[in-house]
Amino acid sequence: MEIEEMIKDHCGTIIDVRTPAEFIGGSVVGAINIPLNEIPLRMEEIKELEKPLILCCRSGNRSGQAQQYISKNDIECYNAGSWLDVNFYLSQTD
């Protein structure tokens, strides 16, 4: 299943890895904010979230870094790029 389809089908958990200030300024409804620098400290919490994890940020760079780190812990996760793209995919649900 492609990331776009997972988002449209509301599979898993959306994690926004931007800073809290960025997240408050606009985010995906239902997304959890776990800033990139907190990922290592919050791995136990992350392990408990519904999989797959759909990661997003402003451009896809930080979510790509988060995806690399989280996947090394054998957790199914995907870099969905910009949170705006995730919002777009959600708006396309039937």
Residue-wise pLDDT for 14-34, tens only, equals: 999 999 999 999 999 999 999
Global pTM reads 0.95
What are the helix (H) ranges across 14-60? 20-24, 43-48
| Mean pLDDT, the chain, integer | 96
If DSSP codes are grouped into helix, strand and coil, which group holds residue 59?
A: coil
